[in-house]
Structure 1
Amino acid sequence: MSAQPKPKQTILIVDDTPDNIMLLSRLLKEKYNTKVATNGATALQIATSTPELDLILLDVMMPGMDGYETCRALKANPATADIPVIFLTAKSQVEDEAMGLTLGAVDYLTKPISPPILFARVATQLTLRRARQQLEEQNENLERIVAERTRQLSLMQDATIMAMASMAETRDNETGNHIRRTQNYVKALAESLRQHPRFHESLSDEAIELLYKSAPLHDIGKVGIPDRILLKPGKLDRDEFEIMKLHAVYGRDTIMLVEKHLGGSNSFLMYAREIAHSHQEKWDGSGYPQNLVGDEIPLSARLMAVADVYDALISERVYKPAFSHQDALDIMKKGRGTHFDPDILDAFIEIEQRFAAIAAEFRDEEEIE
């Protein structure tokens, strides 16, 4: 199959002298499509309404809007700024040529026009224009490919995270929807706090998205806890609880192994490590595993603490019934300033209906009638 001929490129000829327009049109019409304008205002109108325009041959000395002013207007408009302009003029002083090039013209031809020079200069600029367009198209295609592969990689990463988190949850008495609920609680809390003076610098759109994605890994360390403790239907004794507390350390160590394998960390892994290690810390220092106090506890873990406790309270477990939403609120209010960061707990109270909606949306299947 023979290759399709390339479509003719389009040139706009701007000159206030009919004889000049006729001469240029006759010289160029065999190889190119041509449009004409006899003044700057008309040239601007044609340029803005002709998407396929490839080159402008622009006379300098015209009544009203001269060539320099026309060129300045063309380059100021994003829709026409990329169209190459060649000045055609009887002015031959170096400063005249410098003026044209300073305004953004790509070339400067003096009258009377030499046809061979005209053909050569026009062909050069049109070739460069087509090459730039092809390069832009290639860059756009490459960006689309990169964006699609990035999207696929992100989906794979999200699926891997959820699989890892679900693996930890399936060994526990909790359900898979627990991780869906808690990650949405964390996101809702972070969004409600983003304008708070204490938190606005830490809660950018990117940070909130990473918190949302890393939250499901908060209990990944439970894979290291023996079944006899993890699945015990009653209250843990002191020794058993000490072993259970190790899940925070195991979670941190698991993520640190990933960081070591990668040769470094990133924001996602940092949040995941903070949440896994510190979500059982308490504002007054009575939590575990490090007895951190106040702002010593990473913000990510303080957010997770509220989300995790709320979900534990409203969820049925083999060792406890589910509390109502209101009962959970009343219990958590008592932990303001002791268990929970006061400002984060206040934000939770302000959006408690959002928490209730998330709980309803992702409730466990056995609860659905």
Structure 2
Amino acid sequence: MRPENLDAQPTILVVDDLPENLAMMAALLQDRYRVKVATSGGDAVRIASAAPPGLILLDVMMPGIDGYEVCRRLKSDPVTMDVPVIFLTSRTGEHDETRGFQVGAVDYIMKPISPLVMHARIATHLTLKNARDFLRDKSAYLEQEVQRRTREISMIQDVTIMAMASLAETRDNETGNHLRRTQHYVRRLAQSLRHHPRFSGILDDATIDLLFKSAPLHDIGKVGIPDRILLKPGKLTPEEFEVMKTHTTLGRDAIAHAEAQCGAPNSFLRFAREIAHYHQEKWDGSGYPEGLAGDAIPVSARLMAIADVYDALISRRVYKPPFPHAQAVRMIEQGSGSHFDPDMVDAFLAIADAFQSISLRYADTDADYAREAALLATNGYAAASAG
């Protein structure tokens, strides 16, 4: 129910079964208010439901539906529940007044009526109603505005992350649907761990959503790796591998620079920065770039490590065939406690079928593989490898 126009005369619905009482009330009210009348409880409910008035003056003793029942019905209807009801009655017992308040009335005026008292009370309750309506509408507006801004911020986050991830895709011949698959792997694995004692304080819904958005940036640093190394189809030399390893710090620095530009060092990109920097670390400390071990590796990077390795194992490349899902699962399991967080591996094993479903849903096409081969050939590496 929307509040009435505050600049217009409020509408008062007067309910009484005696015509002379209605005429008297109309005469007392018509200079200040628009007046509607009803001669029965049933008519009062119908009129109020069709066009909620600003306030209702309600007689208690009426044939058929008495005033108490009328008030109860009005208060149980969402359309009229906020309309203030003032009882007008000659019943003076304390229990009568108590009952009136119990069924939802805001006031109780005894007959014979004092016009000054009645006008004062009507004005008071209309003012209170207008204030409640204003606050309710203001609250609803603010809630809608918060929802709108939240959607807007989420869209900006999505666009920012995917724009940066697309930049990485233009350089890396191995991406295909890899970015999409890995972000779904990360979300599914995080969801399976959200109630785990080690992770329940970290992996709430908002964090999992940001992890999902951030995962595509795990290899953003590869844009800084020379083509002769990034696109090489064969095994890298030790020197080349040292250069390749720098993609982790390049990715971290690029994301940190973006955060600095917007003045938010702990922005929604913080998980992307962690993932880009640390997803090549290993549980036993043998990874890079810093040789972190165990819980020193951010949770986001540990999740990404499993997702990234699994997808690399099952994916076909120009220089290698894909491993079957079952073999990839066994290899992840064998890496528990050395490459990967053991608890995360246990969670992965429990939902390995979900990983396979994701891989099939976002499987690379023959066209993807053809583009990979063409890119390699364009750079002259396929022929060199074949030789």
Superposed, 1:103-252 pairs within 5 Å as 111-114=111-114, 118=118, 122=122, 126=126, 129=129, 133=133, 136=136, 140=140, 143-144=143-144, 147-148=147-148, 150-252=150-252
The C-alpha deviation readout for 1:88-126, integer Å capped at 9, x for no partner, is 46799xxx99x9999986666564335577567647755
Aligned to 1:340, what secondary structure does the other structure show? coil
**Aligned-residue identity in percent:** 57
Aligned to 2:209, what secondary structure does the other structure show? helix
Maintained 8 Å contact 2:157/2:268: no
The C-alpha deviation readout for 1:310-357, integer Å capped at 9, x for no partner, is 011111223322211112112111101111111111111111111111
The C-alpha deviation readout for 1:188-244, integer Å capped at 9, x for no partner, is 111111222222222211111111111111111111212121111111122211121
Question: 2:323: which partner in 1?
Answer: 323
The one-letter code of the counterpart of 1:309 is V
Q: Distance in 2 between matches of 1:293 and 1:212?
A: 24
Q: 1:7 to 1:25 in 2, by over 3 A?
A: closer
Q: 1:75 to 1:298 in 2, by over 3 A?
A: farther
The one-letter code of the counterpart of 1:287 is G
Q: 1:91 to 1:266 in 2, by over 3 A?
A: farther
The C-alpha deviation readout for 1:261-299, integer Å capped at 9, x for no partner, is 222344622211111111111111111111111111111
Q: Which deviates more from structure 2 when the two are superposed, residues 171-180 or residues 354-363?
A: 171-180
The one-letter code of the counterpart of 1:82 is D
Aligned to 2:54, what secondary structure does the other structure show? strand
Superposed, 1:71-90 pairs within 5 Å as 81-88=81-88
Q: Distance in 2 between matches of 1:355 and 1:309?
A: 12
Q: Distance in 1 between matches of 2:266 and 2:71?
A: 48
Maintained 8 Å contact 2:45/2:70: no
Maintained 8 Å contact 1:10/1:52: no
Maintained 8 Å contact 2:302/2:340: yes
- The count of corresponding residues between Structure 1 and Structure 2 is 359
Question: 1:32: which partner in 2?
Answer: 35
Question: 2:13: which partner in 1?
Answer: 11
| Deviation of the 1:48 alpha carbon | 9.5
TM-score after normalising by structure 2? 0.74
Aligned to 2:269, what secondary structure does the other structure show? helix
Maintained 8 Å contact 1:12/1:37: no
Segments of structure 1 that go 5 or more residues without pairing to the other structure are 1-5
Q: CA RMSD in A?
A: 4.3
Q: Distance in 1 between matches of 2:196 and 2:43?
A: 54
Q: 1:127 to 1:216 in 2, by over 3 A?
A: same
The one-letter code of the counterpart of 1:34 is V
Q: Distance in 1 between matches of 2:288 and 2:185?
A: 22
Segments of structure 2 that go 5 or more residues without pairing to the other structure are 1-7, 370-387
| Deviation of the 1:37 alpha carbon | 5.4
TM-score after normalising by structure 1? 0.78
Q: Which deviates more from structure 2 when the two are superposed, residues 77-86 or residues 161-170?
A: 77-86
Q: Distance in 2 between matches of 1:55 and 1:299?
A: 59
Question: 1:3: which partner in 2?
Answer: none
Q: Distance in 1 between matches of 2:295 and 2:142?
A: 44
